[in-house]
Amino acid sequence: MAEEEKHLMDLCRFLSDATTTNISPLDFIYRLRSDDSLRLGLKLFLSVLKHAVHPIKNDDVRDEEESRSDSINDKKPGFQSWTCDQVHAVTSLGHVIASASRSLAVEQAGPVIVAVMQELLEFAVCYLERSEFDNDDFSVQNHMGQLLEIVLIGGTDKVIEQVQLYPVNSLVQLLPIVSTDCDDIVLDDQINCCLQGAVSLAQGKRNHWIVS
């Protein structure tokens, strides 16, 4: 088994177990930060999320000059090359991470979790804005809406309904593998400022929750 696949397997197994056990947010975050394999798996998941919203070259861009003249808005985000099952796999894992850590302060969660939450927000918004919905199956859209709700209500006591995860082996096989070195993943130093200070509707005052 490739090293990256092992880290993702460990992460998926841990997240799957977290949906069936009453693990506290602090215990959840402690495991993610203290276990090297889980931490590397989380960084790999972060790279998947970054790839999801990163513009990729359209198939009809034929030469370098056309590529330079193309605006970013004319390029497809990476998730548009994924299957529906891949989108659901990424969304469901994000759902578990966001649900388990939404009540934590930024300082408790640490930079990797905060970065994941930011990318989950961008992924959900980008998906809803850039996807074409041409059938009556709204399950993926509903999952994205739920994910946005979780991310945007950090610090409240609202009960969140868990999504159904695929079996662990299937999750690992479905996750879009992005070739990267975990040590090369750079976290935004300004990420605290991006995520702090939103208004909590439930409490009517500013809070510094991880998903604010």
Residue 177 vs residue 160, higher pLDDT: 177
Query: Which pLDDT value is given to residue 166?
Result: 80
Which among 211, 27, 210, 172 is positioned nearest to 85, based on CA atoms?
Answer: 172
Query: Which pLDDT value is given to residue 167?
Result: 87
Q: Residue 94 is which amino acid?
A: G
pLDDT in tens, 79-113: 999 998 999 899 989 999 988 887 788 788 888 99
Query: Which pLDDT value is given to residue 65?
Result: 44
pLDDT in tens, 109-141: 888 999 999 999 999 999 998 887 766 667 778
pLDDT greater than 50 at residue 190: no
Instruction: Enumerate the domain spans of the chain.
Output: 3-206
Q: What percent of the chain has pLDDT over 90?
A: 29
Contacting residues for 35 by C-beta, under 8 A, at least 6 apart: 10, 14
pLDDT in tens, 150-171: 888 754 555 556 667 788 888 8
Query: Which pLDDT value is given to residue 126?
Result: 93
Query: Which pLDDT value is given to residue 192?
Result: 44
Contacting residues for 39 by C-beta, under 8 A, at least 6 apart: 32, 33, 112
pLDDT greater than 50 at residue 55: yes
Where would I find the beta strands (DSSP E) of the chain? 55-56, 76-77, 199-200, 205-206
- Confidence class for position 191, pLDDT limits 50, 70, 90: very low
Query: Which pLDDT value is given to residue 198?
Result: 35
pLDDT in tens, 9-45: 999 999 989 888 888 888 999 999 899 999 999 999 9
